[in-house]
């Protein structure tokens, strides 16, 4: 397919929108990409080839879907907005290895999706220009569902991408960084200007790549307790670990028990959550989990 014919140009996008009288729904995060080079870069960072299949969330009028169709063995795309279905049928007519599912991604039955679409055993990667209003719920759903996906490469709000990929001792580091990095190795691949979208969003964007880990980076006695402790540690960012944890666990752990934990693990209670590595959070969580079990 020649470059002029790509969906992702301002001219072709306008033509398609006009032909169907389509009006953007802000509430669905509809900001379509109009730069084919950005799309090819996303696909490059995702490492898509004919040996693998892709899941897309929110195909819009098919700008990214088309490039994925050219690069991948198969594409399955979830689109919530039924008004886009006839448009996609038209724009993606040349590609019979693309399936559109008219559904809210947050309600998807992935077991059925795999049975129906991915029986060929080829690796599956997620690639999307996400609707920004539900970036975190979508990513957490995909990660927590423990799906057999190799990686996730997504365009999201720059600030959120930086928080997800942040290391300790940076102002972006927080419970979101740990939640994402527990499941994946996260990296920001490129910063993207507002000008490549129609309509232009108010915020800057970035491409985030998440490589799924085969095994968790830390050993945990109890995942839910670990995430609870991490969240509590960042509850008030300027406060010390001692302060945040004493307040959060006051029903289940005494102050001396918390002090003993710091001593046993070798962590200074005057530190702030943002200075702790994931391993240090894991050590604290495993210790306090045993303590709370003993107390209950
Ligand atoms: N992929 C297209 C592109 O890059 O030009 C469109 C991306 S646009 C940022 C986000 C798309 O996600 C829109 O088409 C929107 O209708 C769709 N969407 C929003 N919420 C959704 C949901 N819960 N499930 C599936 N699709 C959704």
Q: Cβ contacts of residue 186 below 8 Å, gap of 6+?
A: 164, 165, 177, 180, 208, 209, 210, 211
Q: How far apart are CA 195 and CA 178, in angstroms?
A: 31
Give me the residue spans of the domains in the chain. 3-212, 223-295
Task: Name the packing angle between helices 223-233 and 241-248 (round to 10°).
Answer: 120
- Which amino acid residue places its CA nearest to atom 12 of ligand 1? 58
Q: How far apart are CA 238 and CA 241, in angstroms?
A: 9
DSSP-assigned letters across all residues of 227-294: HHHHHHHTSSTTS-HHHHHHHHTTTT--HHHHHHHHHHHT--TTS-GGG--HHHHHHHHHHHHHHHHH
Report, as an integer, the average pLDDT of 12-40: 98
Report, as an integer, the average pLDDT of 271-295: 95
Ligand 1 pocket, 58 CB below 6 A?
yes
Confirm or deny that 79 is annotated as ligand binding: yes
The H-or-E segment that residue 18 falls in is helix 10-20
- pLDDT of 278 reads 98
Report, as an integer, the average pLDDT of 261-272: 97
Domain 223-295 belongs in CATH node 3.40.50.150: no
Q: What is the CATH number of domain 3-212?
A: 3.40.50.150
- Which amino acid residue places its CA nearest to atom 11 of ligand 1? 58
Polymer length in residues for the chain: 296
Q: How far apart are CA 98 and CA 68, in angstroms?
A: 9
Question: What is the best residue among 27, 28, 31, 101 to mutate for testing ligand 1's pocket, by most ligand atoms within 8 Å of CB?
Answer: 28
Check if the beta carbon of residue 33 is closer than 8 Å to that of residue 196.
yes
- The SS3 of residue 159 is helix
- pLDDT of 56 reads 98
Confirm or deny that 129 is annotated as ligand binding: yes
pLDDT in tens, 151-168: 999 999 999 999 999 999
Please name which of 236, 147, 229 lies closest in space to residue 183, comparing C-alpha atoms.
147
The H-or-E segment that residue 138 falls in is helix 135-144
Ligand 1 pocket, 273 CB below 6 A?
no
For ligand 1, the distance from its centroid to the CA atom of residue 172, given in whole angstroms, is 26
- pLDDT of 146 reads 87
Ligand 1 pocket, 28 CB below 6 A?
yes
- The SS3 of residue 156 is strand
Confirm or deny that 295 is annotated as ligand binding: no
Beta-sheet pairing, 149-157 with 205-212: antiparallel
Counting residues of the chain whose pLDDT is more than 90, the rounded percentage is: 95
pLDDT in tens, 91-120: 999 999 999 999 999 999 999 999 999 998
Report the chain's mean pLDDT, rounded to a whole number. Answer: 96
- pLDDT of 294 reads 77
Confirm or deny that 31 is annotated as ligand binding: yes
Ligand 1 pocket, 32 CB below 6 A?
yes
Please name which of 62, 132, 48 lies closest in space to residue 95, comparing C-alpha atoms.
62
- Work out which ligand 1 atom sits closest to the CA atom of 31: 9
pLDDT in tens, 172-230: 999 999 999 999 999 999 999 999 999 999 999 999 999 999 999 999 999 999 999 99
Look up residue 50 and give its two tokens: 């004919």
Confidence of residue 4 (pLDDT cuts 50, 70, 90): very low
Q: How far apart are CA 127 and CA 42, in angstroms?
A: 8
Q: Cβ contacts of residue 294 below 8 Å, gap of 6+?
A: none
Q: How far apart are CA 97 and CA 76, in angstroms?
A: 8
């Amino acid at each position: 397919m020649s470059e002029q014919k790509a969906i992702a140009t301002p001219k072709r996008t306008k033509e398609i929108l006009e032909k169907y009288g389509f009006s953007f729904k802000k509430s669905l995060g509809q900001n379509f990409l109009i730069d084919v080079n950005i799309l090819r870069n996303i696909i490059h960072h995702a490492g898509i080839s004919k040996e693998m299949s892709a899941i897309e969330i929110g195909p819009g009028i098919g700008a990214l879907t088309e490039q994925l169709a050219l690069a991948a063995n198969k594409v399955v795309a979830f689109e919530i907005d039924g008004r886009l279905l006839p448009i996609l049928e038209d724009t993606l007519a040349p590609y019979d290895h693309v399936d559109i599912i008219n559904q809210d991604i947050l309600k998807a039955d992935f077991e059925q999706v795999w049975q129906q679409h991915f029986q060929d055993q080829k690796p599956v990667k997620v690639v999307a220009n996400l609707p920004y209003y539900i970036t975190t719920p979508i990513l957490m759903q995909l990660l927590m569902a423990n799906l057999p996906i190799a990686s996730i490469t997504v365009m999201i709000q720059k600030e959120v991408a930086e928080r997800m990929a942040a290391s300790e001792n940076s102002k972006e580091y927080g419970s979101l960084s740990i939640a994402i990095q527990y499941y994946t190795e996260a990296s920001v691949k490129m910063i993207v200007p507002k000008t490549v979208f129609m309509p232009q969003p108010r915020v800057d964007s970035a491409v985030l790549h998440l490589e799924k880990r085969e095994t968790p980076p830390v050993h945990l006695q109890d995942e839910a307790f670990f995430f609870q402790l991490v969240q509590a540690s960042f509850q008030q960012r300027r406060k010390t670990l001692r302060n945040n944890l004493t307040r959060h666990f006051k029903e289940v752990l005494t102050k001396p028990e918390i002090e003993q934990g710091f001593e046993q693990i070798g962590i200074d209670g005057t530190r702030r959550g943002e200075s702790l590595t994931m391993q240090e959070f894991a050590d604290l969580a495993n210790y306090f989990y045993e303590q709370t079990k003993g107390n209950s």
